[in-house]
Structure 1
């Protein structure tokens, strides 16, 4: 049996990695780390020198970064059907890396109040926040999931971005985003993962 350890904190984007593991349906061990505590200790820094979560260790191999974890697990467990066949992965890769690059950068900068000057937009990978929102809005208005009609690992990453963005006000409120977030939140694996992380977060405060 494959051996997977998830290093996480329930109040972080590591929730994405747990969700992906629940979608895969394999057994895994969970190790909850603390900010400014176990995340910064030598034992964990040997796994991820960034001192951040998530990270997974699968049979001795380390994978960090949420998008990479999603793609890796989809390939490591093909029986879960979370990646399209290689010849049909154009949209799958496109939107997975769109979310990891332009989308996340635009959201973070916008939430910090940073607006790219119009004359400098060519120097920034995403141009401007509204252009990023418009681009994703158009795609999700025409497609049920990011790779077409079927849910994939890319939807774990993109879906988390949309769901959290709407929840915390860092995403534009648009019909396509709301409908997509509703489809994502109805998935049994999402519900299971959310319950586990919510319980872990509550336990950490007691």
Structure 2
């Protein structure tokens, strides 16, 4: 019997990244919807993820948190989906997957909060400067059709989700190469299925909040 795959999420969270990856994998999974100030902070969920945050997955006895880690784990756990390059060709795959989880997210968050790192201190912070991160991201999406080469991988799920949000909410510069890259991803059936599932639940929660 296959190990149960449980997905803990909220439709207004980074769980949307993990949902897309789960849909790309195509393995059956069960969703547990959590609320930010309620069930995410319950003793039951804190025993699974002490951070009290989503996304989180439980695959049999294995628990994985953090969206980038979930993408990488699922690609390895379900190799039949073909979402990770062979181990000897994973340089760009790991490089850009964790670039997005580290420098990109940090630089975008600092900018969103109006925090500017002094030029003389840029070497002390992982992202350096917002301008440097944007330049690196431009390189990442223009070198090849996809982040890790000619084929779509889990790294494209993670990087693509960040670019989609960044273009939608204005946290990324609207560079044509970012739009062109996202245009190559947004019509994927798994992305559309994931968006439909989360949008439906988001609508349900908003309606419930209105009473």
Class of the TM-score when normalised by the shorter of the 2 chains: over 0.9
**Which structure 1 residue ranges, 5 or more long, are not aligned?**
none
For residues 160-189 of structure 1, what are the alpha-carbon distances to aligned partners after superposition, in whole Å with 9 as ceiling and x for unaligned? 000000001000100110011111111100
For residues 27-64 of structure 1, what are the alpha-carbon distances to aligned partners after superposition, in whole Å with 9 as ceiling and x for unaligned? 00001000110000001000001000010000121000
Structure 1: 4+ residue segments shifted above 3 A = none
- Contact 2:57–2:65 under 8 Å retained in 1: yes
Q: Does 1:196 align with 2:193?
A: no
Partner of 2:58: 57
Kindly state the Cα deviation for residue 139 of structure 1 after the two structures are TM-superposed: 2.5
Q: What is the count of residue pairs matched by the alignment?
A: 206
TM-score by length of 2: 0.96
**What is the distance in 1 between the residues matched to 2:140 and 2:109?**
21
**Which structure 2 residue ranges, 5 or more long, are not aligned?**
none
TM-score by length of 1: 0.98
Q: Does 1:134 align with 2:135?
A: yes
**What is the distance in 2 between the residues matched to 1:116 and 1:19?**
33
> RMSD of the alignment, in Å?
0.7
